[in-house]
Structure 1
């Protein structure tokens, strides 16, 4: 609606107008829309091709009027342009924002579209395609809207290869993953000999870091080692740890950055090595909670301490964590490189304390060792389990990690890499945990070929396929005839884990070095499957877990070549407390080896609050509904931008739209999510949907500045049945009638009445029993028993919403005689239609005969099989003969009653419906 009159408008392109100058026409909508253009935009020169692509742009500048975008791919030798025109009450045809392509023959503007609000700032964004980029590889450009929108591109995505025509089509995808951010889709119709591909980008998870941490000086290799630190200060947010091993003549440092809803890039705890040439911080990891004090601890390696003997240090977490090591472990001999790898081992012996794992790849001429230290209330520095490599020169212990619980026995397991084994073919060894863990490998995984460096990186992968067993991931950056394309292999856990890789991810090209680092990423998209992250040369790849993992889902790019982006990757835990796992990527060579680390939040709140759900409150009597919403980004510590959340409710929209009633004002508390229990006008029930609509507005102290959520509806239901009926009693009269009575239900205010059930078999479930009456009284006289025999009764309460309560105890009564009031039967041969029909499970059948004689009445199913004989004997004339058929145990369907008398036969159809 570009002119704000309440009617949607349309835009039409005509790119061949006047020697391909091109035009775009806007037609205003109205109650009597005409075909005369209201605004006409014209290209700048011939061959400009303005209008080849046109689209609504959303409201890019936030003035309340929708805007439009038009492409002109012919500009300047096919460099191309895209123009944005702002809407308004008097919209003009002068472009307000003009974006241009990078170079000639790019065809920038061949496709344009609104992108939605991909960055959650409240302004609509746009996406522009340039399918000619780099020999028709193609590229798409995203520009963020703003009050003073600029022409600087805010993000790009590029096709996979030449002649793919990537970005020949671009569009918003809406919010496909429900994270509050718009997503975009890009088409490449020429991919793979015109097979074509479409790419979906959850832009918030594509390639923009949320926090960037930079080293304090050049040549310190900040970011060489990175890891989640766990929650070291117990504030509910996970923290991260970064190593800078070349700090101050290789003394080395490690930095802990505390997580929070507005995490900064200033180190909160800094630990420094003991002396020069220690390489303290060469390896860093969370240690879990080794002393079980409720705070996560960290472990840091210094592999060249004391002539490469090496050390590893554990620092206990705390509300005010300090920089003094609490436990120090030292290698056995010089050149052991003890501490070259460190890791949390999980709880391998099941004593409730986290354990740690330290590698010493140089031990005994690079045979290598790995040491497990059990946690405890007074943890010591003596190794509890020692694993040693098979032969010399294999660098066993160069990489170590917890493996999770791969065999599902309740004990954490570990994995050790030996990348140099067999001319660098490499191996990895899995050791199962246990109450008395040993040092014999339980699973040995083998590299494919020499030079692959299989096992250079190893990690727990989490449970990527959701089968309940932890899985592992192993990197082999040298894969493919020493061309360093690289691979990563995922091995699925199980009670009998094998050594065949279940998932293989291969680098994009030679020298990709894919697999130089690997890690579990946690569950980034919160779909219930663990995800993984894999480092490569200047890239990092995220692969989402699932029942069938196949594709790289997100690619992260470094800022420039030669920064070593991707040499270290790790899960960061949930640093901002939004319920989603986050990730970190290191680039130790950034700016003369100063180094950088990039934190990517899987999700962070947009500025506009978002209603996540409107749901009935379970196990109540109706009338209430729970509204849940995601906070505004400005509702965070240190910002104080939101003064309140206003909740409004409306009945379904009428001819004049919604009518909003303010029902609550909620004080912001810096919570990631909020919930409010609202009262509904009525419940959902027969004849009334009960739908109620809600919206949430984030208010500020300025009444003219606020952010309003999406609108979402829901309904309440009464899902509590009435109390069970008690005090039921039964009595029979001589005429076959049966009297029932029971106590009145005085507790349920919404009680409608009582249902009476009757059956001829005891113990039948209520839903299979015949309902014979509904009454509001507490007595009932059953005057319709149709045969002599025993009858069984139950009584249950029913409320106004149709909920049926627990039945009374079963009552039974023998009927010794029944009274059938009928006249004299005609002396004819007749088989009457059964009643009731359809029936469940019993029905009554009557017949008459013209004179005394033998008669047979049988029941058959639809394929002619005999089911029952109901009468076989002498039948009197002038009398109604009445029998009952009970179909319990038979299938629903069509049945036949067949009466045979004196050589004559009659048939009747009847339907049994359960």
Structure 2
């Protein structure tokens, strides 16, 4: 049906229309409830008003005429697209949508749409705002309610302006991807499940998301630049921020379950005075340029990392360590002295500016890592930095060290009322006896193995796990500091060292009860000149609190009656101690070639010989056909000195082999059996 007169017309509302077109010119009005099962179209220069009654539209409503302002009646849409080139103002009307597929604003030339309070009630409502390159503005001057359990909202084009939005469905989802426009909320926005934002979005009230929050986009200015004036609360498992985000009302991610994660990147500004960012996720990852006023990370499990330096204006309360290796966390100049409130530490660099009015114990990498200064210590601003690394800089040190500096005054010497306090964990002790811990210092930025000196007046508190040092008033501040025992223990507690002659070889055996940073054992034998020389090395066990057993065979024995041995026990820092000597009576060995051992063999065997004269010597292997298959010794020997060589028959078949010793004019041979 088409009402196309060039004058005012009253629509017959006693009829139910399939499609209704209002064209021509003049005002088209109704005197009762109007039902259009499919499309309602306004065209030409016609206008349509509804001041009292209900209009039900089952399909689309299109305005290709001039701008339309509808009266205070009501509109019930059961499934529709509202579009057209002309603007439509429903702000005085009561509007409800019960259909499952709804589009508001469509097409590049689509007109603006204005609503007041709107309800979307279909359990599976799929709402699209700004389809087909829509460039207009959709405005909601009242509260918008989307109650469907599985409802979805997609803002893909144009600009939207909201008063408040409550999307309560537990399986609902909302996406704002209208990058050519922007979105603004003058009050609160609540989402019952997931929210994704890749376009500019400003929320003046609170933003509450029960599901996951994903904010994506470039970090460039103007591309996905979002401002959240009220508190942002996210209960979902996953939160991700990119783009430029300003959170002036604070931020809270309340999900602490296994697999929960919070990723903050781009420009993230949560530094408004008095606000708190609280993150309960198991995995927390920071990058970009974040800034905070108060930062709370409350989950003690999982990981907390940053790949960027950032600032905290006031306090940090971490339940787990922040891994910030290579980066700096800067506390505000007005931050309280006790700015680290939790059990977690910052593994990285912490920077604080202390001024003329500063006094007290100032936290750095942890709540017990402090620099205490008296009133008047500084005449102006001084930037103090402490870098914590959790590894042992010296084999005898605990598994942590601190690089400490006054970057404003590198030659600064603290007054005699100043104190440096460092903390440690029990798992950092690295074999040190806790009650004997002292502070040690070395060259800033580089001190390593053997490069530390003792601060003998430092003290330890084993209950609170701290070591502190009171500066004497004439000692530089800029050092690398660590902790360790005041005296270094011997690397090895040797309990047994014996030796005996076995088959023309000396078998040395020793046992240790404990080892601390043991590098190994150098085996030494006294030569004919009465001096000890190295004949072998056996690797140690590092640090071990249970017994260890070692064996070494000396096969190249000199032809003498008594042999003297000792062990050189070497620590990983290069220090060493000698064992007691062991004396072994060695009967003179017989001249010539000995039977291999073991025999038969598979696949390796040892052959020992003692040359009757000095000079070149060879020891060769032949098969039963007389073909040479290997040369296992080719060198110079001394008369009377026993030698050993090994033969590996891995590549040869089973059978009888002959080994032949040739020393000058002296020749001797024996048989051996390879059995596989």
TM superposition score category, shorter chain reference = under 0.3
TM-score, structure 2 normalization: 0.26
TM-score, structure 1 normalization: 0.21
When Rg is computed on C-alpha atoms for both structures, the one with the higher figure is 2
**Greater strand proportion:** 2
